[in-house]
C-alpha cells in the first residue's frame, strides 16, 4: 500500500444563507487532485466528501453537499456543528 500524499491544489469559501435564520455563513472547501479526478471536502463538516472531473465541478458538488447538509440539519432539528455555531 502506498503512502501517497495529496497536495491541496485549491481552497475556496462557500457563502450561503441558512434559510431559517437568514444569516450568511462561510465554510472552507479543500480541493485535491486524486488521479485524473478531484476530491473536495469541508473540514469540520463530517461526511462531506465529493468528487468531480474538474476543480470547478468538485467545488460545485461540495457546494450542493453543504446546502443538502444544512437542510438535513434543519429538517431533523439537529444543532449546527461547532464550525458553524460562531455564525449564529
Residue 88 lies in a domain: no
DSSP 77: T
* Count of C-beta atoms within a 10 Å radius of residue 40: 26
Domain CATH for 54: 3.30.160
Domain membership flag for residue 2: no
Is the model's pLDDT at 2 over the cut of 50? no
Assigned domain for 87 exists: no
Structurally, the chain folds into a number of domains equal to: 1
**Which domain, by its residues, includes 49?**
8-77
The string over 61-86, giving b where at least 16 C-beta atoms fall within 10 Å of a residue's C-beta and e elsewhere, is bbbebbeebbeebeeeeeebeeebee
Please tell me the pTM assigned to this model. Answer: 0.72
The answer to whether residue 86 sits within a structural domain is no
- C-alpha to C-alpha distances, 44 to 5, 47, 84, nearest whole angstrom: 20, 9, 9
| 84 located within any domain | no
Over residues 27-52, the pLDDT tens digits come to 788 899 999 999 999 888 889 999 99
For residue 51, tell me if it sits in a domain: yes
With respect to residue 3, please indicate whether it lies within any of the assigned structural domains. Answer: no
Residue 83 within a domain: no
Amino acid at each position: 500500500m502506498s503512502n501517497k500524499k495529496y497536495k491541496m491544489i485549491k481552497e475556496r469559501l462557500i457563502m450561503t444563507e441558512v434559510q431559517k435564520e437568514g444569516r450568511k455563513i462561510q465554510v472552507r472547501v479543500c480541493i485535491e487532485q486524486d488521479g485524473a479526478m478531484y476530491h473536495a471536502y469541508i473540514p469540520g463538516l463530517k461526511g462531506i466528501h465529493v468528487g468531480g472531473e474538474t476543480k470547478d465541478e468538485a467545488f460545485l458538488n461540495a457546494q450542493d453537499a453543504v446546502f443538502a447538509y444544512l437542510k438535513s440539519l434543519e429538517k431533523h432539528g439537529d444543532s449546527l456543528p461547532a464550525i458553524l455555531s460562531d455564525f449564529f
